[in-house]
Structure 1
Amino acid sequence: MPETDLAYTLVKPTPALADLVESFWMLANQTQDEKEVVVLPDGRFDIFFSLSATEPFHVTLSGLGSEPSQSALAPEAVICAVSFKLLAVEYLLETPLVLDKIDYLPANFWGITADDLMDFERFCSKVIAKIMSLRKDPIDERKRNLFDLIYSSQGSLPVQQLSEAVQWSSRQINRYFNQWFGISLKAYCNILRYRASFDQIKEGKLFPELNFADQAHFIKDVKKYSGVTPKELTKNKDDRFIQFSTLPKK
């Protein structure tokens, strides 16, 4: 998508929020046309604060995705969002996620207003202050260590290896995952491993690099979560795969 059509800004969290927040970002459709997009599973959940020429200010919570979903960027849309790591479900929201579900939140959620979307720096400052005031401490070190391993390995470590490393049984871990996130640990790791392949696919490397069993397994997983093969994904026709379009250039 031409840069004149789409404005995208991303900010990483400070170390104080790194256990809970993956990123803060802003996306704007700078045209008067609706843009059809496909949202891909990426192992995060998000809160979106949105406004456009055709829609009033609104706030939505998007749970973890397990499959590609069709969506649209409204004309002159501005979206400011927070992408969260999974620990934020328990230690910030205190409400379990429902897989592949989008919920509308109150329009005054966290005190963010439509005016805040016009100033991304102010938006980030207000959201950071709110998260700091709401977070529940301390975080269980066993859970912190588990997620550190999951994220640092990009989902490539087997469940049993993760279990042994944090001294927490795989059965208990899966019970925790299903209760809070609506997904098993293995299924979540598969999504992270798939998401980690975006960079290589964008560079045209259409072969497995992240502990996929073989080429057929790699293609199968990409097609499962994207709806298309790696070759089709790298073409990204009409920039419809929005997360793929916003990957930083190397």
Structure 2
Amino acid sequence: MSLIVQAVKPSPSHSFFVDSFWMLHNASADDKKVIVLPDGKIDLFFSRSATEPFHVTLMGLGTQPEQATIVAQTVIFAVSFNLPATEYILHQPVAHLTNNVTVLPADFWDFCAADLNEFDSFCKKAAQKIHTLLPTEIDSRKQLLFESLYAANGAITVKSLSEKVFWSSRQMNRYFNQQYGISLKAYCDILRFRASFHHISEGKLFPEQNFADQSHFIKAVKKLAGVSPRELSRNQNDRFVQFSTLPPK
């Protein structure tokens, strides 16, 4: 693949809010067309290219496959957030950013173009900034809700979550729609889809994430990837960027 990719997991003290720090560098002289799949994360991008100056963008939840072009000589460093970060670290809802991005001030978190010269230094600076923003207190229902969601990779019903968290289904869905722009059930579906990436990439084209049956599995993958599990596993021309950059298990 023509893309250089690296990912780093956060420290345990940050892992409730941060999924990973990652970089993507198209070092070639050619643009690279890719398809970005829904993965249940909120991404904060710090980017520059030969044709665009340093800029910072925030991407909300994706609910459908999105075609994108990674311009030649583009460097992207990013923080991939778990959902609680929007409320407790970024202090803003992202409902209006479903399948969309917004441009942030170029000096956001005091980053600049020079911070894209070295990935390890970027990770340390981002982690230090996040550490200063960690909340002293978290709503216990929300903490249990997200811990349960991520532990199950979304393979849990809204009813079960409601009973476990002692929060009504209606209230949880209202919170999700207002804060993230989608229902809790839709988010569970995305997490299950994301959890299937590894076994699909290995050619295991059968349900492993509590899908009802093969038909349900195929339908769920087609809805979120736009193609069948078989076509996804082939990843022709490395166009499904997340499949081309899967970390080792």
Q: TM-score range by the shorter chain?
A: over 0.9
Q: Deviations over 1:75-117 (max 9, x none)?
A: 1111000000000011011111121121011111111111111
State TM-score, norm by structure 1. 0.96
> Is 1:10 the counterpart of 2:10 in the alignment?
no
Cα distance in 2 between the residues matched to 1:14 and 1:140: 22
Give the equivalent residue in structure 2 for 1:151: 150
Q: Give the 3-state SS of the residue equivalent to 2:23 in structure 1.
A: strand
CA distances 1:167-225 after superposition (whole Å, capped 9, x unpaired): 11111111111111111110000000011110110010111111111111111111111
- Aligned length, in residue pairs: 247
Matched, 1:166 2:157: no
Question: What is the match of residue 228 of structure 1?
Answer: 227
Partner of 2:200: 201
Does the residue aligned with 2:6 lie in a helix, a strand or coil? strand
Once the two structures are TM-superposed, the CA of residue 31 in structure 1 deviates from its matched residue by 0.4
Shift of residue 249, structure 1, vs aligned partner: 4.2
- Could you say which residue in structure 2 is the equivalent of 1:72? 69
Per the TM alignment, residue 18 of structure 1 is displaced from its structure 2 partner at its CA by 1.1
Please state whether the residue corresponding to 1:50 is helix, strand or coil: strand
Superimposed CA distance per residue, residues 20-43 of structure 1 (whole angstroms, 9 cap, x where no aligned partner): 100001111110100001110000
Runs of 4+ in 1 over 6 A off after TM superposition: none
Matched residue of 1:41: which SS? Answer: coil
CA RMSD of the aligned region, Å? 1.0
For the Cα contact (< 8 Å) 1:28–1:77, is it kept in 2? Answer: yes
Deviations 1:121-141 (A, max 9, x none): 111111112112223331112
The equivalent residue for 2:51 is 54
Q: What's the % identity of the aligned pairs?
A: 57
1:237 equivalent in structure 2: 236
Residue identity matched to 1:190: D
Q: For residues 62-101 of structure 1, what are the structure 2 equivalents within 5 Å? A: 62-97=59-94, 98=96, 99-101=98-100
Q: What is the TM-score normalised by the length of structure 2?
A: 0.97
